[in-house]
Amino acid sequence: QVQLVESGGGLVQAGDSLTLSCAASQRTLYAMGWLRQPPGKEREFVAAITWSGDSTYYADSVKGRFTISRDNAKNTVYLQMNSLKPEDTAVYYCAAGPSLVAVSTTPGYWGQGTQVTVSS
């Protein structure tokens, strides 16, 4: 069973950048990605990447600002977040699943989450 551990969250100001990391406990052929849950709202999809890294998928709300990448040698996926906005404030969860669609809807594996707070 794959375990996912996120890191890199914190408090930043609007317009700042932040990079989240997610380390998997073992090598995985799964697609991986990120979802987030803003305060008082439901969890929502953010970004996903295939095992090979040749395909990515983003929510419209982050397209052009966030970049997902992975380093399979380190079993790690990253989320580079630029031009952060207060509405990006959320708990960010790493997820893994058999496909991009699975990661965006019903991931098989979740991390514990890391808080990102963007002040205005």
Q: Could you list the pLDDT tens digit for every one of the 120 residues in the chain?
A: 899 999 999 999 999 999 999 999 988 889 999 999 999 999 999 999 999 999 999 999 999 999 999 999 999 999 999 999 999 999 999 999 999 999 999 888 999 999 999 999
Q: By C-alpha distance, which of 49, 90, 85, 93 is closest to 67? A: 49
DSSP output for 31-73: EEEEEEE-TTS--EEEEEE-SSSS-EEE-TTTTTTEEEEEETT
- Distance of CA 21 to CAs 33, 40, 41, Å? 11, 24, 23
